[in-house]
Amino acid sequence: MKTRLLTPGPTPLPEEVRLTLAMDMVHHRKEGFTALLGEIQQGLKWLFGTEQPVIPLTCSGTGAMTAAVGNLFKPGEQVLVIEGGKFGERWGEIAGTHGLDCAVMTVPWGKAVTVEHVETALKNYPDAKGILIQASETSTGVLHPIKELAAFTRERDLMLVVDGISAVGISPCPMDEWGIDCLLTGSQKGLMLPPGLAFIALSERAWKRVEEIKPRNFYFNLLGERAKIMVNNQTNFTPAINLLMGLSTCLDLFQERTMEEVFRTQWALTQMARAGAKALGLELLAKDHYTWGLTSIRLPAGVDGAVLLKACAERYGVVMAGGQGHLKGRIVRMGHMGHVDFADVMAGLYALAQGLKLTGGHSGSRDYLERAMEAFETSLADGPPADLC
Ligand SMILES: *Cc1c(COP(=O)(O)O)cnc(C)c1O
């Protein structure tokens, strides 16, 4: 049986990428590789929508979150953390470890924050130097309004730090156009690579802040990394060479397809998963503001999520994720980011329906696959709504 990885990271790999990853080592200070890093830099800037350098880091996504906090803020400074899920919580943990004065604004899991709420919260925290938020909160499937928030923060002396780990390459998040101060992502979600690389870019004013603060990190030292990449097309330490070669292949694939096309497909897959789940009689966790790379689906009362997920994997080869924190066992998170197509989502919906039958929760219509495909076709033709782009 074929295994289908429908998890919100890691995601499946295109064959071209797997073949690149299988190549022999090259040396990271020699000309061939530095030329490749130069090309990758252009590709990453294009992907992030920025004129600023995009720094590759050898670590998982959380490493880039740590780098952001450690380089942009001094211990004792205040930040506002938007916490609407597991990864929002992580911002708070990282900021706390770094000795920041952390003001946490909780948002009900499944809901997006609003600019008005942030504005009100900031009245109590006039000294806040930045806002730490997810573009897409992967634990709930919520898409936060980054464009609107950036329009708000760019007028103020307030850094907008965006964890785009399940957004970059999945839904629009053009850094310079929107006015984001720090955008970061990891390799194993939308970018169709194995885990092990992260990327971080800062706005002009964010770089000024880093220059003033002069952070003392040895490893995640963004000033040092910027100098090295801009002058020599190198990284300060040995990077994950084969992952960077794989990234070059991924960027080629993105450029051939165009981001417009990638976003259109991600949008259509999302509509497909949502329509299918609804036709199965299921409720969606993120109702209005949902991400384009995963769909979080509530399970009917009495259905054991762990049993259902195990059945999907063992009987149909479909690997999906469950809930985290208080949502453990209560939701299914179907990933459809990266190298995933309509046939994968169809397999996901079918496995889910069968899993529900086994666990006593199936109550929806029999034509859920047709409805899902209809939603896919219509959304592919119409494209995503302009206000989200
Ligand atoms: C996956 C994910 C992370 C964690 O990334 P790691 O690579 O596991 O460190 C953080 N934030 C978001 C939004 C994610 O989706």
pTM over 0.85: yes
Of 256, 285, 302, the position where a domain reaches its end is 256
Residue 9 inside a domain? The answer is: no
pLDDT of residue 15: 98
Main-chain dihedrals φ then ψ at residue 293, nearest 5 degrees: -120, -5
- Looking at the structure, do residues 151 and 272 belong to the same domain, yes or no? no
- Looking at the structure, do residues 283 and 234 belong to the same domain, yes or no? no
- Looking at the structure, do residues 239 and 308 belong to the same domain, yes or no? no
Cβ contacts of residue 223 below 8 Å, gap of 6+?
71, 210, 211, 214, 215
- Looking at the structure, do residues 309 and 339 belong to the same domain, yes or no? yes
- Looking at the structure, do residues 227 and 364 belong to the same domain, yes or no? no
How remote is the C-alpha of 380 from its chain's centroid?
Answer: 22
Of 239, 256, 273, the position where a domain reaches its end is 256
- Looking at the structure, do residues 180 and 266 belong to the same domain, yes or no? no
**Residue-number span of the structural domain to which 232 is assigned:** 15-256
Is there an atom of ligand 1 within 6 Å of 187 CB? no
The segments of the chain whose pLDDT lies below 70 read 363
pLDDT of residue 364: 77
- Is residue 10 reached through a cis peptide bond, with omega within 30 degrees of 0 on the bond before it? yes
Q: What gap in Å lies between CA 327 and CA 311, rounded to an integer?
A: 19
Residue 206 inside a domain? The answer is: yes
- Looking at the structure, do residues 263 and 242 belong to the same domain, yes or no? no
Digit-coded pLDDT (tens) for 341-381: 999 999 999 999 999 999 987 767 889 999 999 999 999 99
- Looking at the structure, do residues 232 and 343 belong to the same domain, yes or no? no
Domain of residue 192, CATH code: 3.40.640.10
How remote is the C-alpha of 131 from its chain's centroid?
Answer: 17
- Looking at the structure, do residues 219 and 110 belong to the same domain, yes or no? yes
Q: How many domains does the chain have?
A: 2
Atom 14, ligand 1: which residue's CA is nearest? 165
Residue 3 inside a domain? The answer is: no
> In one letter, which amino acid is 366?
R
pLDDT of residue 229: 96
Distance 104 CA to ligand 1 centre (A): 19
- Looking at the structure, do residues 171 and 309 belong to the same domain, yes or no? no
> In one letter, which amino acid is 372?
A
pLDDT of residue 360: 86
Is there an atom of ligand 1 within 6 Å of 191 CB? no
Burial of 126 (0-12, 13-18, 19+ CB in 10 A): exposed
- Looking at the structure, do residues 279 and 135 belong to the same domain, yes or no? no
Relative to the CA of 198, which ligand 1 atom is closest?
A: 7
- Looking at the structure, do residues 43 and 32 belong to the same domain, yes or no? yes
Relative to the CA of 62, which ligand 1 atom is closest?
A: 9
